Amino acid sequence: MQVQVSHDSAVSVAAGALVVPVFAAEALADAAAELDAVLDGALADVVASGEMSGKANEVALVHAKASPFKRVLLVGLGERSKLTAGALAKYAGTAVRYLGKRGVHEIAIVLPPGVEAGVAASFIAEGALAGTLDTTLYRTEVDKPVVTETVLLVAGNADTAAVEAGVKRGAVIGAAVNAARTMALTPGNDMTPTHLAQRARDLAADAGLAIDVLDEARMRAKGMGSLLGVSRGSDEAATLSVLTYKGDPGSTETLALVGKGLTFDSGGISLKPPENMHEMKYDMSGGAGVIAAMWAIGKLAPKLNVIGLVPSSENLPGPGAMKPGDILKAMNGKTIEVLNTDAEGRLILADALCYAVELGATKIIDAATLTGACVVALGHAASGAMSNDDPFIERFLRVVADCGERYWRLPLYPDFDQQIKSEIADLKNTGGRPGGAETAGAFLKAFVAETPWIHLDVAGTAYLDTESPYMAKGPTGTPVRAFLTIVEDLAAHGFSTNGVASKSGAQGS
């Protein structure tokens, strides 16, 4: 799908349908009022009838055969005073999914007031693209596909350069989000560690990134016994993909993005219950997010050095599988007692985090569908965020607050370090049920040395069981948007967090 900019007036734009925003608890205004006058009060009648209240993502369709736009779709934006930039991605996605499933090939979307034009354009382009993707990748006959091919952003008198730059950025982010979602949707037989590494190669080549894929022999030489321990139960070889973007060659600062790439998780010897085990193809969502974000970084070209690391394995109960009680040794020499083979994501991340440090990362952010405990704590409303560095995570939470993803800080108290101490080894890979998300974070913290680091537990947000008006059910593309937002902030303002007040135990929104 293409997103283009139009400076025609809303009443004269030619398209299969015209999308206009409606705010809750107020009369029609702006473009909606202008159109209502042309349509002899038809839009006001819809509002007066109660069919459209302006609630966020609510829709009402009006036919306008004599007009160049044929139909008008009213889309609710909620209360004007509470409008956020991120809501505009949902506004556009709602329009594309509603109209695209009803045979509309060209849609014109009015740029709402209240958000800086370039920012608004970016979110609208992103949301429009994200709205096109469905979960029907393997269907031979698709029910009601989204057929929209072109979205015209009706920008009015907004600054042309800003809007076009916003559309360009949003189109890249939308494509990256869909790339991550497509990887996550792909079932385990077609998305093995080798396939995931090949996808990383393909996207790296398209974006001009350097890539290195470590095989098991190289991992063994590096002492990555934690990652290799997980792969022992599968016939599929593990991989570690490293994508490199040099946007600021003169700088000694490098951000590492690390993503869990568990392409299928049966739980290993500690076998999961069969119910919903098919969803464990999504256990590589963090890794998919890193690959997709690195592709977008190559396309957007920020002035920053970034490396993306994706450790990938299957976790199966094959003849060579690790067993409860086994001891593994990670790349940094730390020994790990395996108490539960289903706590495997932290094991593959451990070696990847060590390798990020060896490669010179001066800040690290990892993302993983890591714990059910985080879902219990935060539901599907937000991802958990943990860190060993208060200024870094406070900056992160502030910057990504309206990126289209939610994050909430969870503490890493010393108590959690005690919970993962083993009697026989340096660490054990689970601290039990209490504080399960935080003990997983405490485990990962042991592998980043003193490097400022943030851990994102996206277990409750990387995929959803329900369809929304603006996105199909299944993978969401989390954490692609947050990765790109913090990358742009670091590129614009530098790595220093001096001057950011440290508040131990502070929470984010």
d(CA 424, CA 72): 68
Distance of CA 241 to the CA centre of its chain: 19
Distances (CA, A) of 315 to 6, 95, 298, 318: 50, 40, 31, 9
Q: What CATH number does domain 2-177 carry, 3.40.220.10, 2.30.30.40, 3.30.70.360, 3.40.50.300?
A: 3.40.220.10
CB 385 within 8 A of CB 393: yes
pLDDT by 10-residue block (mean), the chain, 509 residues: 94 96 95 95 95 96 92 97 97 98 97 96 98 93 92 96 98 98 98 98 98 98 98 98 98 98 98 96 98 98 98 98 98 98 98 98 98 98 98 98 98 98 98 97 98 98 95 97 98 76 32
pLDDT at 496: 85
> Parallel, antiparallel, or unpaired for β 106-110 and 17-22?
parallel
Helix (H) or strand (E) holding 62: strand 59-64
Q: Which of 436, 245, 272 is nearest to 341 (CA)?
A: 272
pLDDT at 143: 84
pLDDT at 498: 55
Return the CATH superfamily for domain 190-393+407-461.
Zn peptidases (3.40.630.10)
Report residue 95 as tokens.
Answer: 């329009």
Rg, C-alpha atoms of the chain: 24
d(CA 21, CA 326): 59
Beta-carbon contacts of residue 95 (< 8 Å; ≥ 6 apart): 19, 59, 73, 75, 107, 109, 128, 131
Return the bridge partners of 337, or none. Answer: 327, 428
Residues involved in catalysis: 272, 346
Topology alike, domains 2-177 and 190-393+407-461: no
d(CA 59, CA 313): 43
Q: Which of 39, 33, 48 is nearest to 70 (CA)?
A: 39
> Parallel, antiparallel, or unpaired for β 427-428 and 363-368?
unpaired
CB 78 within 8 A of CB 114: no
The conformation of residue 238, written as its DSSP 8-state character, comes to P
Burial of 408 (0-12, 13-18, 19+ CB in 10 A): middle
d(CA 159, CA 108): 18
Residue boundaries of the structural domains of the chain: 2-177, 190-393+407-461
Q: Which of 476, 86, 491 is nearest to 286 (CA)?
A: 476
d(CA 430, CA 264): 20
Distances (CA, A) of 454 to 47, 210, 441: 46, 24, 9
> Parallel, antiparallel, or unpaired for β 261-265 and 305-315?
parallel
